[in-house]
Amino acid sequence: MKLPLLLALLFGAVSALHLRSETSNFESLLGAKTLPEDEEMPEQEVEELETEEEGGPGSEDASKEDGAVESISVPDLVDKNLPCPEEEDTVQLVGVPGRQTCRRYLLVRRPHTFDQARLTCQRCYRGNLVSIHNFNLNYRIQLSVRGLNQGQVWIGGRIIGSGRCRRFQWVDGSHWNFAFWAAGQPSVRGGHCVALCTRGGHWRRAPCRRRLPFVCSY
C-alpha cells in the first residue's frame, strides 16, 4: 500500500514541475511576442520627426529658397522670349544737331525693366541702352520723350557699389564723363539704375525692376 502512494506523490510532483515549466515558457513567448510592439515605437517617432521636418520652419525656408529660384529663373525665360518692339511703339531720333555722327537713337515707348530694355537694345538693334556724354544729346533725348505719359525713361547708366566704393558706369562700356543729376541726386539710397526725367532731362536713381520706356543707341 505504501509503494502506490509514494508513486502517486512522485507523479504529482513531476506534473507540477512540468506545468510550471510550460507556464514560464508561455510567458517568455508572450514577452517575445510583445517585444516587437515596443520596438516599433522608435519607427513611429522617426515618422513623426519626418512629418515635423516636412511641415516645420525648415520647410518654409526651403520653399522660400525654391520661390527665390523661380523668381530669378522665370524673368530670365521671359527675357529670352521677349519680342522685339513693334514699329508703332518706337520713335527714331535724329543725331545731335551740328555734329557728324553715325550713331542712331531709338525711343521704345513700351515699358520694360532695365535688364529687359538692355536686352532688347542688344538683341533687336545690335546696340545698347544709350550713354550720354554731353548736354546736347541729353537735351535732344529730353525733347523726344517729354510727350510720354511716364515721367522717366531708362538710359544706360547704372550704379555699382555703395559709399566710398560707389561707381557710375555706362552699360556699353564707354567712359563716364558727363552727368546731369537732379537736385539731391544721386542720393545715398535708391535704385541702382539711372533714369532720365521726361521734364527737364535731369537724371535720377531708380529701381532696376521698374518698368519704363527706354532709349537705345546703335
Same domain, 20 and 89: no
Same domain, 36 and 73: yes
Same domain, 150 and 200: yes
CA–centroid distance for 154 within its chain: 23
CB atoms near residue 85 (< 10 Å): 19
Give the pLDDT score at 4. 58
Position with higher pLDDT, 71 vs 151: 151
- Tell me the helix, strand and coil percentages in the chain, rounded to 5: 50, 20, 30
Sign of the Cα torsion 10, 16, 20, 22 reads positive
Give the pLDDT score at 46. 33
pLDDT (tens digit, 9 = 90+) per residue, 110-139? Answer: 999 999 999 999 999 999 999 999 999 999
pLDDT (tens digit, 9 = 90+) per residue, 12-64? Answer: 555 555 545 544 443 444 344 333 333 333 333 333 333 333 333 333 333 33
Same domain, 106 and 175: yes
pLDDT (tens digit, 9 = 90+) per residue, 127-173? Answer: 999 999 999 999 999 999 998 988 999 999 999 988 889 999 999 99
Same domain, 60 and 131: no
Residue 129 pairs in a beta bridge with: 216
CA–centroid distance for 187 within its chain: 26
3-state secondary structure of 33: helix
Boundary of a domain, candidates 79, 114, 146 = 79
Q: What is the domain extent for residue 18?
A: 2-79
Give the pLDDT score at 93. 84
Same domain, 98 and 51: no
SS3 labels along 105-148: EEEEEEEECHHHHHHHHHHHHCCEECCCCCHHHHHHHHHHHCCC
Give the pLDDT score at 188. 82
pLDDT (tens digit, 9 = 90+) per residue, 188-204? Answer: 888 999 999 999 999 99
Give the pLDDT score at 62. 32
Spatial contact of 213 and 148, defined as CB atoms under 8 Å apart: yes
Spatial contact of 125 and 138, defined as CB atoms under 8 Å apart: no
Q: How far is CA 168 from CA 47, 81, 164, 192, in A?
A: 56, 30, 12, 9
Same domain, 101 and 119: yes
DSSP E strands, the chain: 90-93, 105-112, 128-129, 152-160, 167-170, 193-197, 203-206, 212-217
Boundary of a domain, candidates 29, 62, 79 = 79
Same domain, 210 and 136: yes
Find where cell 514560464 sits: 24
Q: Give the total number of structural domains in the chain.
A: 2
Boundary of a domain, candidates 53, 79, 105 = 79
Give the pLDDT score at 202. 98
Q: How far is CA 156 from CA 25, 40, 121, 161, in A?
A: 90, 66, 10, 17
Same domain, 126 and 72: no
Same domain, 192 and 168: yes
3-state secondary structure of 181: strand
**Mean pLDDT across the chain, nearest whole number?**
74
Q: At 10, is the pLDDT very low, low, confident or very high (cuts 50, 70, 90)?
A: low
- Work out the end-to-end distance of the chain between its first and last CA atoms, rounded to an integer number of angstroms: 133
Same domain, 90 and 75: no
Same domain, 121 and 205: yes
Q: At 68, is the pLDDT very low, low, confident or very high (cuts 50, 70, 90)?
A: very low
CATH of the domain at 197: 3.10.100.10
